[in-house]
Amino acid sequence: MMWLIGMALGYFAIRFFIVVANYISNPVLQLNGRSSGQSLVSVLIPARNESGNIDRLLASLAKQHDAVLEILVLDDHSEDNTTAVVRQAAMDDRRIRLLRGKELPHGWVGKNWACHQLALEAQGNYFLFLDADVEVEEGLTGALIHECENKKLALLSVFPRQQMVTMGEKVVVPIMNFLLLSLLPLRLVYSSSHASLAAANGQCMFFHGETYRKFQWHESVKNNVAEDIQIMKAVKRSRLKGEVQLANEGIQCRMYRKFGDAVSGFRKNLPEIFAGSRWFMMMHILLSLVLFPLAAWYFPVMVSVALCLLIVLMRFAISVLSGQSPVMNALLHPVQMMSLFVIAFLALGSQWKGSTTWKGRRVKM
């Protein structure tokens, strides 16, 4: 039994030092960067049944005058009022253009097909892909261009600040950044050439336009549900530079409205956080679950107290980096970890079946 405790403690120590490395390196997008003024951005938005979200995004983009050439929205066979909302917004902003999505070809995931169609229409020097449930603030595009020009990036992906209102959101959504910032030093995405050290967020993907047109990134991963991470890996395999950063300002997102939606959304992407390995995911869950009970059983109570304090420190550092409440995440940590266990269990079930359902479509796992 001691070997299991040793593995759990060792794994916890590695994750703690990764959090420290991320906190010190501070991989947060700074909005004070300014572009050269010669780059133009195509904002590209795939939309499927987004009438409840996309009006806020388009309203926020109306204030984003810095280098935005056009705003293209592709209606991916929506069954709600998405088209009407976009047309109404286009009456007030001439940069907005509505595209009708073509039928989904065999072998494509819906979002990847929508993004591919958008890219074929884009005219800008840079492509900014945004999910319909985000909102942007003034200065975002200038900061993205500045970062890409300064570092010669083919792709810059940003994790938006997550808005959470209901308790169902608060016990699921913070799991994403907790795992991300305790499993990967984000600065290595840029500094290391290894494709395995990759992360990205499809909510905000900023591409160098000429490079995208050459490599057609969404087409290259057309059948992958976790297209964001796979594209970052493809960028690195092509010996190009990619980077991922956090956004405490500039862009925000309310991903889900209730617990069930959050669980359903995360289960399709959770395995990719663990490099696509179900064994790594299962090991993580096992070692995380057994650490505190076994430490409390075999060691003096002060060891368990020390571990709890270290967890609080980890939650504090990650929450500050992510623009979230440290107190909320520390108090809800046990419930969030149980939610992670549920999501992992469901993800394994979807992988065993080979597919899951997302936005009314079957997607392969």
DSSP 132-182: TTEEE-TTHHHHHHHHHHHHT-SEEEEEPEEP--SHHHHTTTHHHHHHHHH
* Tokens 């935005």 belong to residue: 68
Block means of pLDDT (10 residues each) for the chain, 365 residues, are: 77 94 96 69 96 93 84 94 95 94 94 97 97 93 93 97 93 94 97 94 97 97 92 97 94 89 82 81 82 71 83 96 95 93 84 62 60
* Tokens 């959101």 belong to residue: 169
Q: What share of the chain is helix, strand, coil (3-state, %, to 5)?
A: 50, 15, 30
Chain centroid to Cα 245, Å, comes to 10
Token representation of residue 341: 């266990």
Contact (Cβ atoms closer than 8 angstroms) between residue 199 and residue 186:
yes
**What is the rounded CA–CA span in Å between residue 257 and residue 259?**
7
Token representation of residue 119: 């890219």
The pLDDT, as a whole number, for residue 361 is 61
The pLDDT, as a whole number, for residue 32 is 74
What is the helix (H) or strand (E) element at residue 227, kind and residue range?
helix 227-237
The pLDDT, as a whole number, for residue 147 is 94
Beta strands in 39-94 (DSSP E): 41-47, 68-75
- Amino acid letter at 5? I
Q: How many other CB atoms are there within 10 angstroms of residue 14's CB atom?
A: 12
Domains and CATH numbers, the chain: 2-25+260-364 (no CATH), 41-160+201-256 (3.90.550.10)
Token representation of residue 277: 């390995």
Token representation of residue 113: 């097909």
What is the helix (H) or strand (E) element at residue 70, kind and residue range?
strand 68-75
The pLDDT, as a whole number, for residue 37 is 62
In Å, what is the CA distance from 98 to each residue of 195, 206, 226?
35, 20, 26
Phi and psi at residue 75, in whole multiples of 5°?
-80, 110
Longest dimension (CA), the chain: 68
End-to-end CA distance of the chain: 34
Chain centroid to Cα 357, Å, comes to 19
DSSP-assigned letter for residue 226 = -
Q: State the DSSP string of 310-350.
A: HHHHHHHHHHHHHT--HHHHHHTHHHHHHHHHHHHHHHHHH
